[in-house]
Amino acid sequence: MVKINKDLFSLNNEYSFYNIANIVKDYKKNNKDKKVISLGVGDVSRPIVKSVIEEMHGAVDDLSNMDTFKGYGASNGYDFLKSIILEKEYDNKFGLDEIYISNGTKSDVTNILELFDIDSKILITDISYPIYKDGSSCLNRKVYYADTDDNFKPTIPKEKYDIIYICSPNNPTGLNYTHEELKSWVDYAKKNNSIILYDNVYTAFIETDTPKSIYEIEGSRSVAIEFRSFSKTASFTGVRCSYYIIPNEIYDGVNDLWKKRTINRFNGADYIAQKGAYATYKEKAQKDIKENIKYYKENAKLLINAFKKYNFEVTGGIDSPYLWVKINNDMNSFEFFKFYLEKLNIVIVPGIIFGKKADKYFRASALASREVIEEGIERMKNYYEKNI
């Protein structure tokens, strides 16, 4: 009999987004008279802005004529998109050979492990987005867990680790790393010849005086690979377009090596998606995209005030669309998820999905529509003011 990758059996089925979705689906099926709303959704509720859509329509037209038709493109992305990202996001401090266009950070942050030896020691936090652990398992890589501080950020270890995952602004806690915190990790990585995989997809939400890129930290170009996406920023969750930077300082010849890998493993991101991503940097699109982000941040303020009003401790929601909320009774996070679903008909994400240490917390999202946010707040008001 064929042997199956044994590490796939370690993927968590009970406490997973997949299982949560099935529980909600079954509840709706058995309670058709109930209107269930979600304050846990990670998807966006604002459409792609009009000027970007128009550019994408033009890209579709390009494909209808062989004079403008685009077939297989460069596996690492079209220069027109790479150039504008480097200009607008990185002040042209990197070259075209150091940036890669892809189809989603969720894939990128685990596919990048193919660059490193299979025995590399990978460090993650116990409370983290599940893909770091599960994606590593899919690739037969072993992960280790860092100790954390009071904000669930990893503390600098005494042991040597080869790969360190850092998500900032963080999903699920919503917190961004300070300059000092990142400097400590860059220093650790330089001392131990380690690489930081920096998941930076929520950078557009940052409003505090904290780094918007790890490359703001001196020395980081030799130890950090940064990942970003258009999903939440430009409502590309259904389009799929992302990018990442591999600085040449990481390793002599690293980009020649990675391009050989990429051309064998990936045929490139969608032309239509790349044209749309390019259009997001135009003046009108930037204005409209910033309005969308402002909309989500206003949602976050409404939720923060509501949860605090009913005696929840809340972090996040400032540099990120996510709120990290401490459960204010003796329920664990899965029990609290079911309680909110059944009593308030509201979906939140139980903390246990993000790690064992998160079992007294849940994640709420400001990415829903304003109508859903306001309805959720009204339901909390109706419940708590009757039961407190």
- What value does the mean pLDDT take over residues 236-262? 97
How many domains does the chain fold into? 2
Between CA 318 and CA 257 the distance in angstroms is 39
Q: Do both 233 and 151 map to the same domain? A: yes
- The enclosing domain of 336 has a CATH number of 3.90.1150.10
Domain-terminating residue out of 243, 259, 282: 282
Residue pair 176/209 in contact (Cβ under 8 Å)? The answer is: no
Query: Could you give the CA distance from residue 59 to residue 37 in angstroms, rounded to a whole number?
Result: 36
Q: Are residues 171 and 23 in the same domain?
A: no
Residue 204 has a pLDDT of 96
Residues 38 and 379: their CA atoms lie apart, in Å, by: 12
Is there a single domain that holds both residue 293 and residue 376?
yes
Specify if 356 maps to a domain: yes
What is the C-alpha radius of gyration for the chain, rounded to an integer number of angstroms?
A: 21
143-202, pLDDT tens digit by residue?
Answer: 999 998 988 899 999 999 999 999 999 999 999 999 999 999 999 999 999 999 999 999
Same domain, 256 and 294: no
| 38 touches 346 (CB < 8 A) | yes
Residue 1 within any structural domain of the chain: no
Can you give the residue range of the structural domain that contains 349?
6-46+284-387
Which pLDDT score, from 0 to 100, does residue 386 have? 84
Average pLDDT, stretch 371-378?
98
Confidence of residue 15 (pLDDT cuts 50, 70, 90): confident
pLDDT tens per residue, range 67-89 = 999 999 889 999 999 999 999 99
Looking at residue 388, what is its pLDDT? 67
Domain boundary pick from 282, 315, 337:
282
Is the C-alpha dihedral spanning 365, 366, 367, 370 positive or negative? positive
Phi and psi at residue 33, to the nearest 5°: -85, -5
Q: What is the CATH number of the domain that holds 152?
A: 3.40.640.10
**One domain for residues 100 and 80:** yes
Q: What is the mean pLDDT of the chain?
A: 95
Long-range contacts of 358-361 (CB under 8 A, 24+ apart): 358/126, 358/127, 358/152, 358/172, 358/333, 359/332, 359/333, 359/334, 360/326, 360/327, 360/332, 360/333, 361/172, 361/324, 361/325, 361/326, 361/327, 361/333
Are 65 and 165 within one domain? yes
Whether residue 195 is found in the same domain as residue 63: yes
